[in-house]
Amino acid sequence: MALSVTKVCENKMQLVILAGGLGSRLSEETVLKPKPLIEIGGMPIIWHIMKIYEAHGVKDFIVCLGYKGYMIKEFFSNLRLHSSDFTINPDGKITFHGGPGNDWRITLIDAGAETQTGGRILRVKDFIKEDNFFMTYGDGLGDVDIKKLYQAHLDNGCLATVTAVRPTARFGALEISNDKVTAFVEKPITEGGLINGGFFVLNKKALGYVQGDQTLWEQEPMRNLAKNGQLGAFAHDGFWQPMDTLREKLLLEELWVSGRAPWKIWK
């Protein structure tokens, strides 16, 4: 008997997170730490991403490291120590007293500082257990329905499915009538086309489109998958926001602090 999408997400699905880029447009912060460790509300953005997937039952993560990857290893190694009270016993064993324990399984792989996005996924192929897996970037948040995304992937029969989003305009928009401003929209949706919002589902066979370390996933692999009718799209009309600049980091911080963070779908 086939498992439901919910049971598959809970029992089988893994998430590959690309967390090795330089983040040069956020150099104010990335000079000191890798981009996925930049904090929103006191916790790194990569933690927020993992919480989104956990809310849909995914608890097995593979993190592809690169720039300052040792810092991400140290963060996860010490996550419970930093966020819990504990007792160090005479035998050296630690007894935790509450705290945010979780049952995540996290595999951290150094994919090379100079490796491109496609190459990073290829580097962790042997750690992927099932035919299908989730993949996303370590710098974007959204209230994407992960289960519906996976169902769309099953329905379209493609080797890859990308979440398609319509980006928010950078500046506010004016609505004008008879030479007078009738309304001001602070963050309107652009009139442009849909773009790659990350939040992929991939079949391991899609990695056959990756040539090696220097392959950008967003170039030849996605183009060739599309050419061959093997790239499905899952339209997401809800919240989606990358963190490419300091301005975008501050926007996400403001949403979190104000209690209006749309991506916080967990309790």
Consecutive H or E run containing 146: helix 146-156
pLDDT digits (tens, 9 = 90+) for 192-227: 678 899 999 999 999 999 999 999 999 999 999 999
Q: pLDDT class for 178, splitting at 50, 70, 90?
A: low
pLDDT of residue 30: 87
Q: How many residues does the chain have?
A: 267
pLDDT of residue 190: 60
CA distance 205 to 160: 9
Asked whether the predicted pLDDT for residue 1 surpasses 50, the reply is no
Calculate what percentage of the chain has a pLDDT beyond 90.
Answer: 75
CA distance 189 to 247: 18
Asked whether the predicted pLDDT for residue 170 surpasses 70, the reply is no
Average the pLDDT over 94-100 and give the result: 81
pLDDT of residue 201: 97
Q: pLDDT class for 133, splitting at 50, 70, 90?
A: very high
pLDDT of residue 241: 94
Strands (DSSP E) contained in 28-91 are: 39-40, 43-44, 60-65, 85-88
Query: Minimal CA–CA distance to 139: which of 257, 264, 25, 260?
Result: 25
**Overall pTM > 0.95:** no
Pairing of strands 60-65, 105-110: parallel
User: Does 235 or 176 have the greater pLDDT score?
Assistant: 235
pLDDT of residue 59: 96
Calculate what percentage of the chain has a pLDDT beyond 70.
Answer: 89
CA distance 6 to 92: 40
Looking at every residue in the chain, the average pLDDT score rounds to 90
Average the pLDDT over 116-136 and give the result: 97
Average the pLDDT over 9-28 and give the result: 90
Q: Looking at the structure, give the CATH architecture of the domain made up of residues 5-257.
A: Alpha-Beta Complex (3.90)
Q: pLDDT class for 11, splitting at 50, 70, 90?
A: confident
Please, what's the b/e burial string for 166-179 (b: 16 or more CB within 10 A of its CB; e: otherwise)? beeeeeeeeeeeee
Query: Minimal CA–CA distance to 94: which of 108, 78, 105?
Result: 78
